Structure 1
Amino acid sequence: MPNEICCRARNAPSVCSALFPVKLLGFLCALLAPATILVAAERPNVVIFLADDQGWGDLSVSGNRNLNTPNIDSLARDGATFERFYVCPVCSPTRAEFLTGRYAQRGGVYSTSRGGERLDLDEKTIAQYFQQAGYATGAFGKWHNGLQSPYHPNDRGFSEYYGFCSGHWGSYFDPQLERNGELVAGEGYITDDLTTKAIEFVQRSKGEPFLCYLPYCTPHSPMQVPDQWYEKFDGAEIEMRHLNKSRESLPMTRAALAMCENIDFNVGRMLSKLDELGIADETIVIYFSDNGPNSYRWNGGMKGRKGSVDEGGVRVPFFIRWPGHIDSGLKVDRIAGAIDLLPTLADLCELSMNTDHQIDGRSLKPLLLEENSTWPDRSLVSAWGKRVSIRTQKYRLDNEGRLFDMINDPGQSHDISTGSQGIARQLKSEVEKWKQEVGFSDTNTDRPFSVGYSKSTRLPARDGMPHGKVKRSCHHPNCSFFENWVSDEASISWDIEVAEKGDYQALLDYTCRPDDVGAVLKLAAGSSAVIGQIAEAFDPPLRGAEHDRVKRQESYVKDFERVNLGTLNLPSGQAKLVLSAIKIPGTEAVDVRRVTLVKQD
């Protein structure tokens, strides 16, 4: 295998540029570190679309005749396609790798919920780099790298944020979202709403360079999509199927395809706005997804789906358009991944940054802009839980130690490890070295939830632990609530770390049936405690099923009422916040969505 290889499918004008070293400082240093400031007109804008659970095969440009995605396809036509682009098997790690240019394991992301999704505070994000260089920065959608400050997107370089910080959301129609930390009511279908807010940000930011990040939450379940998109697929014949048709749920496929066409519509809205504002030629546009498809459906014959470290779980579509700079229709066959996006965009936008951390990604600028670029061979690692796979330009070594020639066997059906023992040994050695370097682990239990870094701190059910007979409304924690509080021996707890000692007003979001009014609850941390009584019933119905196209696995949702339990005096440092029931006069105490601690002046 040659050490260097020419990688371009077409010629392009030669552009002389160099990637400056990148400096990734600790959290506080990240806010203060200097960055090179260029004249606004010399720097392009950046718009990044990130789909959620959309597979490589869920686009017509990939050859899928089941749907039509002309706007996303246009990015491939008018820009570059990376034909082998890799992300993580699930959501939050991919987002962390995009944000930092580093493997997610280096940044402490080991799970998708209960704190394991949080990006370590000494990691500096792409938004912080761009913000320091004078860019307006906004994110609109699913964050999934931490809720409580200082993990919140507003603390990680995004001046504007609208969306939700959890891993999935329970309702896509008029859902409760947040704007810059404040809970607000969403407006209409979530993908349409997020795009509208992003377009408004772009309109406000015209005249200065901007970084606009649009991490959608579709086609992730629940499988909800407006009628105008679903009608085409309702009962439709699905021409292109998963190789194992018995594993494919056609209702799920139809719903996912409808959601993908809605995404395409919204991508078109943004592209049209860039044209209308006259800034399309000054804007880099990127589109990719966070992992493989969330069901068994057509995906080009690749093995694996979401959650798998095989090809189908980690290979996704990737397109980048920059008119006048990147050749139209350029196809790049070199392997690349989410870890490459920060160094690439920093290079293209001429941001000068230094780092004490190792950047795992490479700038893809030579592949995009240089006429006769050379590109050293590389390996990319995919990991989730205890499973690890490694991909080179030609081979994949899977989690079981099986070796596949991905050029001649893209479906991973023929293990060649016996006949290629030298290659298999080398890749196994690389995996072990990678595990040691990144501190590979599928658990990390000593990370309490931060309180007091902002005026108000929300502690949702997702981040708590039930005790006794209390249980979650669903085993998927992200958008769940606690229910079945039938015993005064039960409780709910949150491990917290208080940044600043002082008084904190304690607010509880609850529901309670009329027959259960009167429950007396105690909220305590250390020697400080408050006691409050539920004096009013609030028993709204569950929502969500009325919009589902496929029966969901996640929790349904409902509205919650808020009660002030009183004021806690909290010392700084770690503590266990415990919500318990002193008295349950009815069958149950309350259902709990969250506790909010508000720092008092």
Structure 2
Amino acid sequence: MRSSFSVRRGCVLVSITDPRSAHGPARSRRRCTDDCPASRRGRSCHSRSCRDALHVILTLVLGLWCQGIAFAESAAASDATPQQTPPNVVVFLSDDQGWGDLSLNGNTNLSTPNIDRMAAEGARFDRFFVCPVCSPTRAEFLTGRYHPRGGVFSTSAGGERLDLDEVTIADSFRAAGYATAAFGKWHNGMQYPYHPNGRGFTEYYGFCSGHWGHYFSPQLEHNQELTTGEGYLTDDFTNHAIRFIQAHHNRPFFLYVPYNTPHSPMQVPDQWWQKFADRPLALRHRDPDKEDPQFTRAALAMCENIDWNVGRLLEHLEKLNLADDTIVVYFCDNGPNGWRWNGGMRGRKGTTDEGGVRSPLVIRWPGKIGSGKVVPQIAGAIDLLPTLADLCGVEVVSTKTLDGRSLKPLLVDQNATWEDRMIFSTWNRKVSVRTQQYRLDSTGKLYDMLADPGQDQDVSKEHPELTRELRAEVEQFKNEVMADFDKEERPFLVGHPDFRYTQLPARDADSHGGIERSNRHANCTYFRNWTSSEDSISWNVEVAASGTYEVEVYYTCPQQDVGSTIELSLNGQRVSGKVSAANDPPEKGAAEDRVVRVEGYVKDFKPLQLGRIRLEEGTGFLTLRALEIPGDQVMEMRLVMLTRVDD
């Protein structure tokens, strides 16, 4: 393999000639070859040869950075001036919590003293904007780039995945020598290398789906190996985060804690619910008839539980004398998931209006960021990567242009100059744009957000020139950022050589015949009504590396239906086995729900050992079907797990 390098500050450009590649020589970090269809569309390719090149490039890039770190450390050792230890970073991200779900923003329905204290001891951004829904915000935080650039177009069925040629904030911090970990809801891809372990996080515990069906000791994963959670999820994720800090307190760490609450189902322990169960709501949604008070109470109880967990982690930092050496960030992923008080703003989760995309942002770094600082300038999730990298002196190991900018001057410089800017919000091809004073909504109406924060009065006729300018900016955004936003079909990757496990959940599969999905919200569903040998379940996959795999099918089946023979096949390779034991648990979740859910319930699915299958590198449809059905149904199926075994 021959490599040539062009190195400049902040990036490494690499061209590679790889004898293993069927595409031939000369590929770049940014694109594949001219004969690669994905390259011609300007998108990332998922073929093995292109992924191999990407893997080699990233390895070389990280190696160069490690060499740079070693050189810097060597130089520091020979210098009489002591070098300052870089700060740790903790990032909290809540799920479906609105701007108004904190007492620091004036909500008297609840109390969030720990997050309020963070704001009092650090900086609070008054106008901080995220995306209308979950996975896009996560993608923008991870990359510093608008989510359509990274291929994120949905919250399920593969559309939540972040393109493999995107470099994440964890990649940069890991390359700089930080210990990296994430504990919670990922929601940017499940199969490696979309998995957090493939995106710069050495340690991961949580779930990769968009929502989870049960919050008390459910099935989770630890570095993609299935495990069982311990207690209420938000508490459990915090416990793991605290243990990670304890284990890495003597070196810089980057810790990402993406909580799954107050996303539905609305489950919260009794100690938090009892405070709100019959409590009057002093503040209501601007249209009270839309509000479900019990849903609001459950959400607020979950928010107070989040605050308690934030406080536990902050207390642990103080016990270890790490508080002054740790940057702590708190923000939310979108607007509230219900019609509840949100400062009188229009919109909620799923909309590009102010209430759908405005989020709290609190950043605390004692001694470096002034206490009680309120930043009025608009900012967004795209700014967090460049900001944290700048504050920590970490180089961003990406050659892609960032959409975000560093907020460091606004945090540490009282007299910072700051250029006016625009921040775009998009979902389902609807686009709105925010300036410091105005918002142009997705229909082209203009609102003065200082005089009219509720977006009640269209002022486009009073400001025709500004309206034309902002409409033109929206069109340019669509033409540039969303130009290749074609929801390109990307197979689900199976058997990456760097990872042992591959999960293929029902969420990512298509059913054929009479098989039904357990609920229209696919993220935590299973398949049922499998009654015919003509029925099948299939995944569009790409096998990354040829090999032999153990197959487990997670199933339920009542005693009277035991005995079906099922087969898993791909491109002529197949393995079959018999359902030899009953597993007939009831649905669970309803007893813990504080409000009747819209999502489906879950069950305790158990693994059926199907045997081993040989899979060859390439693409195809991995298909599960029944060969024999002695009872009324085959099974209910939630997940296929493939585990690589040594040949």
Shift of 1:22: 6.1
Q: What is the TM-score normalised by the length of structure 2?
A: 0.88
Q: Alpha-carbon deviation of 1:443?
A: 5.3
Q: Are 1:435 and 2:478 matched, yes or no?
A: yes
Cα distance, 1:21 vs structure 2:
4.6
Q: In structure 2, give the amino acid aligned to 1:216.
A: Y
Cα displacement string for residues 97-135 of structure 1 (whole angstroms, at most 9, x for unaligned residues): 000100111111110111011111111111110011010
The match for 1:318 among 361, 376, 395 is 361
Shift of 1:388: 1.0
**Aligned partner letter, 1:356:** T
Cα distance in structure 2, aligned partners of 1:45 and 1:191: 22
Between Structure 1 and Structure 2, how many residues are aligned?
582
Q: Which moved more, 1:203-212 or 1:27-36?
A: 27-36
Q: Deviations over 1:350-390 (max 9, x none)?
A: 11235321100000001011121111111111111121111
Equivalent residue in structure 2 for 1:510, among 555, 562, 566: 555
**Counterpart Cα distance in 2 of 1:162 and 1:530:** 31
1:279 aligns with 2:316: no
Match of 1:15 in 2: none
Q: Kindly provide the amino acid, as one letter, of the partner of residue 585 in structure 1.
A: P
Q: 1:66 to 1:31 in 2, by over 3 A?
A: farther
What does residue 489 of structure 1 align with? Answer: 534
Match of 1:540 in 2: 585
Partners of 1:428 and 1:574 in 2: CA distance: 42
The worse-fitting range, judged by mean Cα deviation, of 281-290 and 483-492 is 483-492
* CA deviation vs aligned residue, 1:48-95 (integer Å, no higher than 9, x gap): 100000000000000000000000001110000100000000000100
Equivalent-residue separation in structure 1 for 2:252 and 2:415 (angstroms): 30
Q: Which residue of 1 aligns with 2:507?
A: 462
Question: Matched residues in 2 for 1:371 and 1:298: separation?
Answer: 33
CA distance in 2, matches of 1:32, 1:130: 16
Displacement, 1:526? 1.5
Q: Note the C-alpha offset of 1:521.
A: 1.3
Question: With CA pairs under 8 Å and 6+ residues apart, which has the higher RCO, 1 or 2?
Answer: 1
Q: Give the letter for the 1:543 counterpart.
A: K
Residue aligning to 2:335: 292
Contact preservation (8 Å) 1:23, 1:357:
no
Partners of 2:171 and 2:126 in 1: CA distance: 29
User: Aligned residue for 1:8?
Assistant: none
Residue 609 of structure 2 is matched in structure 1 by: 564
Deviations 1:148-202, CA, capped at 9 Å, x for gaps: 1111111111111111111101111011111111111111111011001000000
Q: Is the contact between residue 386 and residue 441 of structure 1 (CA under 8 Å) also seen in structure 2?
A: no
Cα drift, residue 568 of structure 1 = 2.2
Instruction: Please name the residue that 2:145 is paired with.
Output: 102
| Shift in CA distance, 443/227, structure 1 to aligned 2, threshold 3 Å | farther
What is the aligned partner in structure 1 of residue 26 from structure 2? none
| Deviation of the 1:587 alpha carbon | 1.4
Alignment partner, residue 12 of structure 1: none
Classify the secondary structure of the residue corresponding to 2:418: strand
Determine whether 1:91 maps to 2:134. yes
Helix, strand or coil at the partner of 1:547: coil
2:246 is equivalent to residue 206 of structure 1: no
SS in 2 for 1:42: coil
Range 340-349 or range 578-587, more displaced: 578-587
Q: How many Å apart are 1:416 and its aligned residue?
A: 1.2
C-alpha distance in 1 between matches for 2:483 and 2:160: 15
Residues in 1 aligned to 2:597 and 2:485: alpha-carbon distance in whole angstroms: 27
1:32 matches 2:77: no
Q: Is 1:42 aligned to 2:70, yes or no?
A: no
Q: 1:488 to 1:445 in 2, by over 3 A?
A: farther
Taking a change above 3 Å as real, the CA distance of residues 383 and 486 of structure 1, as seen in their structure-2 partners, is: same
Counterpart position of 1:425: 468
1:419: Cα distance to partner?
A: 2.3
Q: Distance in 2 between matches of 1:65 and 1:344?
A: 32
SS for the counterpart of 1:84 is strand
Contact 1:30 1:128 in 2 (8 A): no
Residue 193 of structure 1 corresponds to 236
Are the counterparts in 2 of residues 109 and 117 from structure 1 also a CA contact under 8 Å? yes
2 CA distance for matches of 1:102 and 1:526? Answer: 38
Q: Secondary structure at the match of 2:591?
A: helix
Aligned-pair CA distance for 1:544: 0.6
Query: In 2, distance between residues paired with 1:211 and 1:313?
Result: 28
Q: Matched residue of 1:231: which SS? A: helix
Question: Corresponding residue for 1:11?
Answer: none
1:269 counterpart SS class: helix
Does 2:174 match 1:131? yes
- 221-230 or 530-539: bigger deviation: 530-539
C-alpha contact 1:30 1:124 (8 A) present in aligned 2: no
Give the whole-Å Cα distance in 2 for the aligned partners of 1:430 and 1:123.
25
2:206 to 163, 184, 192: 163
Which amino acid in structure 1 is aligned with residue 186 of structure 2?
W
Q: Which residue of 1 aligns with 2:4?
A: none
Give the Cα separation in 2 of the matches to 1:92 and 1:311. Answer: 19
Whole-angstrom distance in 2 between the partners of 1:456 and 1:353: 30
Q: Distance in 1 between matches of 2:12 and 2:327?
A: 23
Matched-pair contact (CA < 8 Å) for 2:172–2:397: no
Partner of 1:174: 217
**Could you tell me how far apart the structure 1 residues matched to 2:422 and 2:494 are?**
40
Aligned match of 1:7: none
Q: Cα distance, 1:248 vs. partner? A: 0.2
Query: 1:17: which partner in 2?
Result: none
Cα distance in 1, alignment partners of residues 296 and 238 from structure 2: 24
How many Å apart are 1:503 and its aligned residue?
2.2
Distance (whole Å) between structure 2 residues aligned to residue 564 and residue 372 of structure 1: 65
SS in 1 for 2:522: coil
279, 285, 307: which one aligns with 1:264? 307
Contact 1:31 1:128 in 2 (8 A): no
Q: Counterpart of 1:151?
A: 194
User: Aligned partners of 1:280 and 1:449: how far apart in 2?
Assistant: 41
2:634 equivalent in structure 1: 589
Q: Partner letter of residue 574 of structure 1?
A: T
Contact 1:154 1:161 in 2 (8 A): yes
Per the alignment, residue 392 of structure 2 pairs with 349
Q: Which amino acid aligns with 1:213?
A: Y
Deviation at 1:536, TM superposition (A): 1.3
AA matched with 1:69: T
- Deviation string 1:461-502 (CA, Å, 9 cap, x unpaired) is 111011111111111111111111122221111000001123
Whether contact under 8 Å (2:171, 2:397) holds in the other structure is no
Do the aligned residues in 2 keep the contact of 1:22 with 1:359 (CA within 8 Å)?
no
* 1:241-292 per-position Cα deviation (integer Å, ceiling 9, x unaligned): 0010000000000000000000000000011011100010011000000000
Partners of 1:167 and 1:406 in 2: how far apart?
A: 32
Looking at structure 1, the residues matched to 576 and 324 of structure 2 have their Cα atoms a distance apart, in angstroms, of: 60
Aligned partner letter, 1:30: L
Higher mean Cα deviation, 53-62 or 524-533?
Answer: 524-533
Instruction: Indicate which of 183, 200, 204 corresponds to 1:140.
Output: 183
Report the alpha carbon displacement of residue 330 of structure 1 after superposing the two structures with TM. 0.5
In 2, Cα distance between the equivalents of 1:202 and 1:313? Answer: 33
Corresponding position of 2:33: none
Identity %: 57
- Counterpart CA distance in 1 for 2:456 and 2:144 is 32
Give unmatched runs, 5+ long, in structure 1. 1-19
Amino acid at match of 1:398: D
1:523 aligns with 2:568: yes
Does residue 115 (structure 1) correspond to residue 158 (structure 2)? The answer is yes
2:609 counterpart letter in structure 1? N
Q: Provide the residue aligned with 2:418 in structure 1.
A: 375
**Contact 1:48–1:285 (8 Å) recurs in 2:** yes
Task: Give the secondary structure class of the aligned counterpart of 2:371.
Answer: coil
Post-superposition Cα deviations, 1:295-337, rounded to whole Å, max 9, x if no partner, equal 0000000000000000000001000001111110111110001
Gaps of 5+ in 2: 1-8, 14-28, 31-53, 74-82
Structure 1-normalised TM-score? 0.95
What is the alpha-carbon distance in structure 1 between the residues aligned to residue 180 and residue 483 of structure 2? Answer: 32
